[in-house]
Amino acid sequence: MKNFQFQNPTRILFGRGYEEKVGAQVAGYSKNVLLHFGGGSIKTSGLYDRVTASLKKAGVEWVELGGVKPNPRLSLVHEGVKLCKEHKLGLILAVGGGSVIDSAKAIAMGAVIEGDVWDFYLGKGAPVDALPIGTVLTIPAAGSEASTGTVITNEEGWLKRAVNSELIYPRFSVLNPELAFSLPKFQVACGVTDIMAHLMERYFTNITHVSFTDRLLEATMKTLINLAPKVLENPQDYDAWSELMWAGTVAHNNLLDTGRVGDWASHDIEHEISGIYDIAHGAGLAVVFPAWMKHVLHHDLNRFVQWSVRVWNVEMDVFNPEAVARAGIEKMEAFFHSLGLGTQLADLEIKDDRITEMADKCTGGNTRTVGNFVKLDRAAVREILLLAQ
Ligand code: NZQ
Ligand code: ZN
């Protein structure tokens, strides 16, 4: 196990009705805030009314910025930065999914600097300060409600890039499982797949003596496999949503990668796909992960065998470990299909061939590799995308 430091400062307010108390949380930081949200689901569901009533009750004033799109755009981030500076806002309250939260994090970093926040996404410098952020989560998926990450798409060149910084851990996040009841089935499927992906990115590691976190990751994957059909069948199953929502947060709040080094190549490759084609991140991961696994299988067959047997209940065959490993991958693909997602690029209706371009962008023109379990150069990323075709 590797040395590590771990601190996750995000206060979680979990359970029914917490959105009605969000005003008091916000007021602890500022009485003049940016209320940030997406394309309208929070208005249809009535969440907007409950949150704004709570802000009013706590004496908090706000400026609104809605319209965050899935794969959140840099241009809206710039608008948010301008509003924060003009109105001297002291906190950003993100009400929505990963896209809204990621956009809020970008605004939080941009509001305290003179230059363009996009530079951080290009790796030019690192943030030294940020406005505080609070969230009301409406979809278990990205884990941004308690993560150091933000992923933004620059419409100029359709480049989707990430920043990781402890400065943008949300100060608090409201997790009310009831808020997920209104999710369309497709978004449920994408969310579950993203959570699975966050667990698998961490699971496939070269670090040894990490059996404790292996077991935690396996247990979380099994929990998802068990619960996903329940919420798809009954979208109002509060008990199932509760566990799934909490699993989504813990999958990405950095607890489960303590002492180990995750891979993250599949995420980097997927970000090229959703950057160019504007597809849902989870749908892209359902395509990339099986192909990545087939590509790297022989790097550590034992790890794949352990995963197949423990997570997917594949019967052990000591004389044919490769078959055991491949059976696990097949079961994972069947699981994604059962959620209604495809596992090939063609299923995303991607027909034109921009595979070489994506492999090039992903590896900075072959100047860097992606992934840690196996380091992938441009040719390897291209092969994975070809496998996914
Ligand atoms: O915009 P609205 O109208 O709210 O609709 C959203 C959106 O269309 C809808 N939705 C959300 N909650 C709903 C709802 N509809 C009905 N009822 C509800 N309760 O769902 C759609 C997708 O929302 P989005 O926020 O895009 O989903 P998600 O949470 O999956 O976020 C995806 C983004 O997060 C990034 C992804 O790359 C992608 O851009 N990620 C962020 C990470 C992080 N910050 O740590 C890590 C992840 O790996 C991921 O890369
Ligand atoms: Zn993800």
- Rounded to whole angstroms, the Cα distance separating 140 from 143 reads 7
Task: Give the end of a domain, one of 179, 209, 236.
Answer: 179
Is 349 or 254 the better-scoring residue by pLDDT?
254
The pLDDT value recorded for residue 351 is: 72
Classify residue 5: in a domain, yes or no: no
Confidence of residue 153 (pLDDT cuts 50, 70, 90): very high
Q: Atom 46 of ligand 1 has which residue's CA nearest to it?
A: 142
Q: Which domain holds residue 269?
A: 185-387
Distance 144 CA to ligand 1 centre (A): 9
CATH of the domain at 109: 3.40.50.1970
Residue 334 shares a structural domain with residue 354: yes
Q: pTM for the complete prediction?
A: 0.98
The pLDDT value recorded for residue 375 is: 98
The pLDDT value recorded for residue 151 is: 98
Backbone angles phi, psi at 300, to 5 degrees: -155, 80
Residue 245 shares a structural domain with residue 310: yes
Q: Which atom of ligand 1 is nearest to the CA of 252?
A: 45
- Rounded to whole angstroms, the Cα distance separating 243 from 177 reads 9
Confidence of residue 3 (pLDDT cuts 50, 70, 90): very high
Which of 192-206, 211-225, 347-361 is least confident?
347-361
Q: How many domains does the chain have?
A: 2
pLDDT tens for residues 79-113?
A: 999 999 999 999 999 999 999 999 999 999 999 99
The pLDDT value recorded for residue 337 is: 98
Residue 198 shares a structural domain with residue 347: yes
Residue 173 shares a structural domain with residue 204: no
Q: What CA–CA distances, in Å, run from 378 to 39, 124, 231, 366?
A: 36, 22, 39, 5
Q: Atom 41 of ligand 1 has which residue's CA nearest to it?
A: 142
Confidence of residue 203 (pLDDT cuts 50, 70, 90): very high
Q: Would you say residue 286 has pLDDT above 90? A: yes
The pLDDT value recorded for residue 350 is: 85
Residues lining ligand 1, Cβ inside 6 A: 38-42, 45, 70-71, 96-100, 102, 138-139, 141-144, 147, 149-151, 179-180, 182-183, 187, 190-191, 194, 252, 267, 281-282
Taking alpha carbons only, the member of 66, 68, 74, 285 closest to residue 161 is 74
Q: Which helix (H) or strand (E) holds 133?
A: strand 133-137
Residue 304 shares a structural domain with residue 368: yes
Task: Give the end of a domain, one of 148, 164, 179.
Answer: 179
Backbone angles phi, psi at 149, to 5 degrees: -100, 155
- Ligand 1 pocket: which of 253, 281, 285, 341 to mutate (most atoms within 8 A of CB): 281
